[in-house]
Amino acid sequence: MKPLYRIDEKLNYDRFNLRANPFSKLSSEGIKNIDDIHVFQDIDSKIKELLSEVINKKSSVAFALVGDLGSGKTQRLKGIHRLMEKAGFSIYIKIDTNDIIKIIKDIFSVFYYMKEDKKGRFQKIKDKFDRALGKELEFDDIWLLEKGKFKSTDIGNKLKKYMSEFEVSCLILDELENLITAPEEDLISFFEVLRQFISDMPDSSLFVMATTKEGAEQIKKANPAFVMRLHRILEVEPLTDEKAIELVEKRVAAERIDPEKNLNPVYPFDESGIKYVNKMIKGNPRLLLRMLHTVLSAAVKDELIEIIDDRYISELMTTPSSVEEYILKVPQDLRDLVTLIIKKFNGGPVSYIEIAKETKLSPTMIYESLKELVGMGLMANEKGKFEVVQGVKLMLEESEKRES
């Protein structure tokens, strides 16, 4: 069996009436006109209603987006951020640390630099003299924060004070699951800051957070009072087959060489192929794109393939005849991870935490990669443990027996 593809190869998609692989950019951050390829789901209607309450009715709302990695949370948050910036003022923070002091400083630094930009030359000179004289300036208490040595209620009230300076304001915190590895005391303190803020939000203010289901459970465990203060918790629903087809249609249209040439809007795919993949990856948008990228890359190298249907995809997904062939099926950027699991952990089962400790990489990044491999049918996941698919597992066991 042929390997699926090599990521370093330059492939020509002309015969499929495409300039390039439409599924190369998996995340919204790499796409300019993201609204053109966004697939509207029920959750978008709910978000629209909440935003309308804030912008038009002068009420305040705090809600959470909960969903798997790759389910479209960040794309929606970026859309909210753009809209709220136009309506008034918005802060978007992507959490990439479990250091709560750094996160608090990142939030308040937005206000600090805005005020610094507005200061005249005389005021800046005066600030220098005041600091030299030992006088405390406006943000000094924030810059001098230390873990376990601040009152969460004071910080929450200060956040309200600065947000209330705007007619319409918004605070967005993305990827909060990256925070949950912090010590329990830190988590309690941080979410107590947010609880204090959303308990008495300024008029026409919005707070939005996004996290995975696992992250949401840890947050609730650390500070249930904070979660109770949220007005809504919205779960991102998986893609239906119809929405998956719509997503493919929009992606493909963006790369068409001649938009008038093909009658089938998802060509070279057949709808059966898209539905097959969507079922396999359980409606996760990023995994769908990843899988279709892999499949299309393989199909473009096979001159006999004209239509990519469920039969062709199922053939690609069949169990390989050797471990080497299995590794060739894995996307190039994930092969080191799979090779590590095979060599270090004999194919698994192994937790993503164990792999993160071994590789010194982010647990979130490892978890996301493993979930992608599960979605592609290249790994199995049972009770939080990951391992290679059963056929490959048997090959490894047989090899171990022969060596012993």
- Residue 18's pLDDT is what? 93
> Taking 80 as the threshold, does the pLDDT of residue 284 lie above it?
yes
Quick check: 295 pLDDT over 50?
A: yes
| 89 DSSP assignment | E
Both tokens of 243, joined, read 């929405």
User: What are the structure tokens assigned to 87, written together?
Assistant: 């309506």
CA dihedral 110, 112, 114, 118 (to 10 degrees): 180
pLDDT 10s digits, 130-139: 565 556 656 6
Cα(146)–Cα(163) distance, integer angstroms:
23
Stretch among 42-56, 86-100, 306-320 having the lowest mean pLDDT: 306-320
For residue range 15-35, list pLDDT tens digits in order.
999 999 998 876 555 555 666
| Number of C-beta neighbours around residue 118 at 10 A | 8
User: Is the model's pLDDT at 2 over the cut of 50?
Assistant: no
What is the Cα–Cα distance from 8 to 13, expressed in whole angstroms? 15
Q: How big is the CA angle at 159 (ends 154 and 164), to the nearest 5 degrees?
A: 125
Identify the residue with better confidence: 373 or 43. Answer: 43
Asked whether the whole model's pTM tops 0.85, one would answer no
For residues 328-357, give the mean pLDDT: 86
Least confident of 145-149, 268-272, 277-281: 145-149
Please give the angle made by the CA atoms of 248, 250 and 256, to the nearest 5 degrees.
100
192 vs 371 pLDDT, higher one: 192
Q: What's the whole-number average pLDDT of the chain? A: 84
Give me the half-sphere count of Cα atoms (radius 13 Å) on the Cβ side of residue 72.
26
* CATH code given to domain 42-235: 3.40.50.300
139 versus 111: which is more confidently predicted? 111
Q: What per-residue confidence (pLDDT) applies to 348?
A: 83
**CATH class of the 320-404 domain in this structure:** mainly alpha
Whether 253 shows a pLDDT value over 80: the answer reads yes
pLDDT higher than 50, residue 3: no
Beta pairing, strands 232-235 & 89-94 = unpaired
